[in-house]
Amino acid sequence: MLESVFLEVDHSPMEMLVGVPEGAGPFPGLLLSHHRYGLSPFTYATAERLVQEGFAVVAPNHYHHTPDAPDDTVAKDGMTDEHCINDMLEAVIYLRNLPKVNPAATGILGHCMGGRGTLMGAANVPGIRCGIVYYGGGVMTSRHNAPSVWSQLGAIGCPIAGFFGGDDKNPSPEDVRMISQTFTQLGVEHTFKTYPGVGHGFMDPGTAKYDEAATKDAWSLSLAFLRTHLA
């Protein structure tokens, strides 16, 4: 159902997972920003499920900027926000030009570092209609001397949904409260839900912190949110 395509971004070949539902369309489009483990089986499975639910999906590999990194930690640390935004801009152009995609209905979502990427993309990619953050950390932190995502929240002009673990350390419950308060002050429509007793990465069945009940609930609420804002 998914295929790999390659785009040239910042003079580097970027692999991207692409999936489009069967049928005539036009379908709403989603940019899926991957977690720290890249285009992992979890990212692949997430993209596949979204396609099955009726969304066209692109998932760019942000780690193409650090191809010689020995592991995901080094790759993540070496990736700049500017590079990530450029990846998203090119991925969304590709998505909106797919024949069966409605170019006026684009959303963004991501887990872990991809949750941070969701907020960054919603602030920097024109025309995003909604975004979903799954336990995205590091929002208040500046990376590579670039503006923090926290400082860019005022540029977000679409509804945001967020799903978090009550036992998470990054983002901590206090971080989540601060982001929510900032959105309220800025007038950004948002709906956050925190699951008590649940930690970081709770949606990934490949981790010890996987929580089936929280995952099922987050999926149900996410799909309702996407269908509301990308109809």
SS3 168: coil
Rounded CA gap, 45 and 206, in Å? 11
CATH number of the domain within which 107 lies: 3.40.50.1820
Mean pLDDT of 20-36: 97
**pLDDT tens, residue by residue, 40-83:** 999 999 999 999 999 999 999 999 998 888 888 888 888 899 99
The domain in which residue 55 lies consists of 2-229
* Per-residue pLDDT at 230 exceeds 90: yes
Rounded CA gap, 85 and 190, in Å? 22
Per the model's pLDDT, the better-predicted residue between 66 and 210 turns out to be 210
Predicted local confidence at residue 75, as pLDDT? 86
**Residue whose token pair is 């429509």:** 189
Number of domains in the chain: 1
Predicted local confidence at residue 39, as pLDDT? 96
Predicted local confidence at residue 109, as pLDDT? 98
